[in-house]
Amino acid sequence: MDFNRIRTDTWSLSIPSDWIDKTEDDSRLYFESPDQTMGCYVTVVVFSNTPTHDMHQRLASGKEIKIRSLKRIGEGSWVCMTDVEVESESQVSTVVDHYNESRNYRIVDKIVANAKTTIFLSCHDYYCEDYLKSKEFFSGIVDSFECV
């Protein structure tokens, strides 16, 4: 499978070359597979030059927001399959993977926070019949997502 690298002033990401940019507003970008069974959202929150907000606090808040959003999605129970946090001198990041087997729905989120920016990648498999296959497919996308 071929991938295209998307670069902005704050982040970069590799997505399959046949995915379509279906962004409807500037606050959140959306890329979708041609068959509409998978998609990725990218959201950037930039903080002012006033005192730096705590990266860990923003990361925790981002995770809470994502968990609350699962409750709005609908029926079935969501299981957290992975929750991994990584820290370096300049940023913290987390990957949280949720799966709803009864709805065949998987969402894997990567949140990256540095001194002034928090960036959210949310990858959705709307028709996830095989969790391991979905995990393998999205791993390259999630791993490629980074602050620049």
Tokens of 64: 């809470």
The predicted pLDDT at position 35 comes to 97
The predicted pLDDT at position 26 comes to 79
**How far lies 9's CA from each of 6, 16, 20, 40, 100, in Å?**
11, 21, 21, 19, 34
Tokens of 29: 């970008």
Alpha-carbon gap, residue 18 to 28, rounded angstroms:
20
Residue 145 near residue 11, CB atoms below 8 Å:
yes
The predicted pLDDT at position 72 comes to 82
Helix, strand, or coil here: 105? strand
Residue 97 near residue 79, CB atoms below 8 Å:
no
Neighbours of 77 (CB within 10 A): 10
We report the CATH number of the domain holding residue 100 as 3.40.1000.10
The predicted pLDDT at position 122 comes to 96
The predicted pLDDT at position 141 comes to 97
The predicted pLDDT at position 7 comes to 93
Domain, as residue range, for 115: 3-147
Per-residue pLDDT of 14-30, as tens digits, reads 999 999 999 998 789 99
The predicted pLDDT at position 52 comes to 55
Question: Looking at the 3D structure of the chain, how many domains does it have?
Answer: 1
Which stretches in the chain have pLDDT values below 70?
47-53, 74
> Closest Cα partner for 36 from 20, 58, 55, 54?
20
Question: What helix, strand, coil percent values describe the chain, rounded to 5?
Answer: 25, 45, 30
141: left (phi over 0), alpha (psi -120 to 50) or beta: alpha
